[in-house]
Amino acid sequence: MATSPSPGQNDTLIIGLVGFAHLLSHFYQVALGPLFPLLRDEFSVSYTALGLVITLFYGVSGMCQAFAGIIVDKYGADRLLLFGVVTMSTSVFFMGLAPSYWMLLPLAVISAFGNCVFHPADLSILSEKISPHRIGRAFAVHGFGGTSGYFLAPVIIYYGVASFAGWRAGLMVAGAIGWCAVALIYKNRAVLRMPRGQENVANAAKPGIEFYRKLLTNRALIAAFAYFVFMAAAGVGMQVFSITAFVEIYNAPLYLATAGLTAYLGSSAMGIIVGGELADRFPRHALIATTGLIVGASIMAIVALFPLHMFVIIGSLAVAGFFIGLTGPSRDILVRGATPVGATGKVFGFVYSGLDLGSASAPILFGALMDGGHFRYVFLAIAALFAMGILSVVQLKRGKTIVVA
């Protein structure tokens, strides 16, 4: 039996392939969003009905992600990574052929089955195959890829195709991009190959009842799960509601309101890259994560509580985004440190399912604030979510690993 390369070999290629796969997962997560006005006219449905497609996607993905971690550890992360790209790209392609709104719902569920595997598969590969002195940068490229996927979805799907060829062509082109990516990943699958179940290290955590009981009662990992809930909810507040809130508060032109979100997301992507270097060079990962969250929460509170010129707000959001992005690689290293040997898929699958829970539930909170006319409270809620994330990081720092009986 061939043995897989030891950690440190092919680092650059592995990091690039995994980061690219993560980019695609985020790219497909927001594929429908830029097309909502076109879909609303095509199918004569409300925005609430279209929002149900997104809620269904994140809900199913969140429920399946912890289970996906088990499958990753049993069958190998590389196999599940390919499954995720194939499933999401194919479902999005067929969304472009959907004859009615109701066909979008089962296709969203299928896409969710593909989406749920990415975090446990990606982070298992990086944790097992990347040399320790590069792991922070590996996590940084992974996070940067996800953020880039959010950027590229409207650029390629809407502006690049749908704006002149229609929404169906936009989704079909998006799906075809994924098929090309599958060919690239499959061609290089040897460097991603992970051992199955008992082929893994001899002292791997065994997936028994006692393991899962201790997983669910481990304070550090529950804290990590809560962290992702808070961060995802804050992200929804920024990505979905901040633009409208700025328009309502300041009667700001749409281009200025949009510039605030663009500055936040762009700086966040840069912060992730810098955070990767910092995490590899400076071992106090909890301090890095808490500092970034404190700065982010403070700036959001200032934006919420004080009347500011939009140009000042845009600059402030750029700073906040940078510091929030800075926390990502250190956070992932903290989670990795609280993970037992051989159980990275299970643990990352469990804690990252918090992202889907936060993404699915946050629109209710922020929608209620907007409907009540409390537009400044949108940013105060984001600040509060960042502050709760600080408490989660402190608890996560205290956890080391699960002791398996």
Q: What is the pLDDT of residues 140-181, one digit of tens each?
A: 888 888 888 887 888 888 888 888 898 999 999 999 999 999
List CB contacts of 120: < 8 A, sequence separation 6 or more.
65, 68, 69, 72, 77, 80, 344, 345, 346, 348, 349, 352
Specify the higher pLDDT residue, 225 or 344: 225
pLDDT score at 168: 95
pLDDT grade, residue 331 (50/70/90)? Answer: confident
Q: Would you say residue 4 has pLDDT above 60? A: no
**Of 82, 64, 55, which is closest to residue 353 (Cα–Cα)?**
64
pLDDT score at 321: 93
Q: What is the pLDDT of residues 335-374, one digit of tens each?
A: 777 666 556 667 777 777 787 788 878 877 887 888 788 8
Q: Would you say residue 299 has pLDDT above 60? A: yes
Token pair in block for residue 32: 């429908």
Q: Would you say residue 291 has pLDDT above 50? A: yes
DSSP string, 94-152: HHTT-SSGGGHHHHHHHHHHHHTTHHHHHHHHHHHHS-GGGHHHHHHHHHHHHHHHHHH
Q: Would you say residue 1 has pLDDT above 60? A: no
DSSP string, 344-400: HHHHHHHHHHHHHHHHHHHHHHHHHHHHTT-TTHHHHHHHHHHHHHHHHHHHHHH--
Domains defined along the chain, listed by start = 11-192 (1.20.1250.20), 212-398 (1.20.1250.20)
pLDDT grade, residue 106 (50/70/90)? Answer: very high
**Other Cβ atoms closer than 10 A to 154:** 17
